[in-house]
Chains A and B, each alone.
Chain A
Amino acid sequence: MAVRRENKVARVTSSAMYIACSAASIVILLLLIWITGYLVSIGMASLNLDFFTQVATGDPEAPGGMRHAIRGTIILLGMASLVGVPLGLLAGIYLSEYAADAGHLNTVVRFTADVLTGLPSIVVGIVGYELIVVPMGSYSGYAGAAALAFIMIPIVARTSEEMLRLVPHSYREGSLGLGATKAQTIFRVVLPAATGSVVTGIMLALARVAGETAPLLFTALGSRLLTTNPAEPFPSLTLQIYSYATGPYVKERQMAWAGMLVLIAMLFLLNMLIRYVAHRSVRKFQVS
């Protein structure tokens, strides 16, 4: 009889937890719909063509647009990629191709890259401030781009390493057997085989960095001018949204919502693009 009661308790508990797990997932889904719905509805209300064509006017009653901020983000991302992508890619090549290098050095570098991906971004910003802003004497787009590159490099290194590892060893062995050097193998065989996946990894790093605000707080500072000079305080979409959202003016706060909507839409499109590229060109290698 005790066994039957135990069974009954266990079965009731099981059904209850089944319902609980489903309910939890529905709650999360509803929460997501609530948050996204709010962002979309309030963002759409203040989104118009002016947002993309006008720059900040400084007038709280008619804030203008965020063209300067969108352009600023694109320029910052470009500058960060100029430094971050080659360094990250080379580090990824090191991790994947020179795996037996110098005892455990390779393992240590891999572990360090993993740990670096979890560094708080505000600490990166402060380091950028101490290393670039203070000697230069002013906040600058260079410092902002450097901070973003600092965040990008470990991510690009790890993802490109993973993608390069997926290329079968038979490719490398065949190339070396034909008399190619290691460098020729890497650049003419391995990298071309993994191009799609590596590009996907780079775009993922870009997507992550595009939404960052904290590293830019003390490096690029933000600006309301349509500037192209990276040696002075530089605008950014995230910084502008933060500045408007925490300010006292209602119209500017509405513009912050619109900016948030545009940022999330950009990231969503970027993620879709990543999936498309990955689907098209990530080859499933046949093991021969």
Chain B
Amino acid sequence: MAETATNTAGVLTASGGGFAQSSPRKRRTAKASVVFFDSLLKWVCRAAGLTILLMLILPVAVLLRQAWPAIQAYGASFLVTSTWRANELEQPARDAAGKIIIEGGEAVMTVIPAQFGALPVLYGTAVSSAIALLVAVPFGLAAALFIVRIAPKLKIAGPLSFLIEFLAAIPSLAYGIWGLFVLAPLLSTYVGPTLAKTLGNIPGFDWMFYQTIIIGGTETRRPISFTGRDMLCGGLVLGIMILPIITAVSRDVLKNVPRAQIEGSLALGATWWQSCIEMLRYGRAGLFGAVMLGLARAAGETMAVTMVIGNNNQIVPSPFAPAQTMASLLANEFAEATTGLHSASLLYVALILLAMSLLFNVVARYFVVGKALK
């Protein structure tokens, strides 16, 4: 019977018939290099873990530092200012009565400095994400219900799931190109004019087809021309893009509903749809998380939106008017920001986008991982 002894390093060693020994004398401690490598790996792995933490702190710190001039200049009012103008305006100075001040035969000009405010892009992000959710959530939930309840009997649950996952893997640039060359012309040729003809004459709908703009100091009402690159197109493209994600996550959530729950409701006399409602109610935490994940993706999406949103940084209530989201503003203006305040304001917008995306993700993970698995 071979003796075994535990040495001071806590590593079991065997003697006489056990492992091959390095010398006729019994080895009583593990090789120093092996122990060293063990400690080294522990520290290297810990360092990798801390790198992950650093990767969250770094963007926040960098954006905070670079956006500081804008934060100092505007503070929190940045979030409610709706002017975004990178150039200075020269306007004739007016006195208290509104008359132009004239000195020495010429009008005195005042210079209105550049001004930046995030309200238009906040509005654009909110409305485009809302349209995207309006499109994606009903279709996504219906498709998830189909995959979980109807498709297994038809044996197409597997192929359908594969299809949805393939859709989710398509780069967003593809949706952007398709939106720009296919959907936008469709909307501008058919949808816009048709809606204008049918609804345009009804008094409650003229906010959809007219906008008030200021020309030469006076407000005028102008009809909105249908370019196809507007808020509606942006929202639709976003919706089609987040549809696979919402479907896939909802499918996973609904799959986790215990059969006993469904069978119990059916045994109590529920119809097919009533048992579906029971499933949706049971998985409501996870489904809310799925919707939040889709929302987080939609709000942070750049490429699909930039090509179809119209690049107009103003708040116009109509869905047929061009708009701007936070991500599309950054994509369009960042490379050409000339003055320091312009860059700082853009980075302030990036900081707001980062904070919003982090918030959505944290809430979504809490609901999908935390609550749904309880």
Q: Please list the residues of chain A having a beta carbon within 8 angstroms of any beta carbon in chain B.
A: 10-11, 13-18, 20-22, 24-25, 27-29, 31-32, 35, 38-39, 87, 90-91, 93-95, 97-98, 101-102, 105-106, 108-109, 111-116, 118-124, 126-127, 129-131, 150, 153-154, 157, 177, 179, 181-184, 186, 207-208, 210-214, 217-218, 238, 241-242, 245-246, 253, 256-257, 260, 263-264, 267-268, 271
Contact = CB atoms under 8 A, between A and B. Distances in A.
Interface string B9-37: 00111000000000000000010001101
A123 B358 CA distance: 12
A15 B175 CA distance: 34
Nearest to B362: A115
A112 B173 contact: no
Interface of B: 11-13, 30, 34-35, 37-38, 40-42, 44-53, 55-56, 58-59, 62-63, 66, 138-139, 142-143, 145-147, 149-151, 160, 163, 166-167, 169-178, 180-182, 240, 243, 247, 271-274, 276, 293, 296-297, 299-303, 307, 327, 330-331, 334-335, 347, 350, 353-354, 357-358, 360-362, 364-365, 369
29 contacts: A14-B274, A18-B273, A20-B142, A21-B150, A24-B138, A25-B143, A25-B146, A32-B167, A91-B52, A94-B45, A101-B49, A118-B364, A120-B327, A120-B354, A120-B357, A126-B334, A127-B59, A131-B58, A150-B55, A183-B42, A207-B169, A213-B171, A213-B172, A218-B335, A241-B177, A245-B176, A260-B173, A264-B171, A271-B169
A18 B45 CA distance: 51
Query: What 6 A-B pairs come out closest when comparing CB atoms?
Result: A211-B171, A120-B300, A14-B271, A24-B142, A90-B48, A14-B273
Given A116-B52, A127-B62, A217-B331, A27 B139 contact: yes
A95 B47 CA distance: 12
A209 to B, nearest CB: 10
Given A121-B302, A123-B353, A127-B63, A25 B160 contact: yes
B56 A115 contact: yes
A87 B46 CA distance: 11
Contact of A114 (B51, B243, B365): B365
Contact of A122 (B35, B138, B139, B302): B302
Contacts of B142: 20-21, 24-25
Do most interface residues of chain A lie in helix, strand or loop, or is the interface mixed?
Answer: helix
Nearest to A139: B335
Given A25-B146, A217-B335, 18 more contacts: A18-B273, A21-B149, A24-B139, A25-B151, A32-B163, A39-B174, A87-B48, A115-B365, A116-B55, A118-B297, A119-B358, A120-B300, A126-B347, A213-B303, A217-B331, A241-B173, A257-B181, A260-B174
A119 B11 CA distance: 45
A102 B128 CA distance: 43
A150 B52 CA distance: 10
Nearest to A241: B173
A238 B171 contact: yes
Nearest to A42: B181
Contacts of B334: 126, 129, 218
A32 B173 CA distance: 15
A14 B53 CA distance: 49
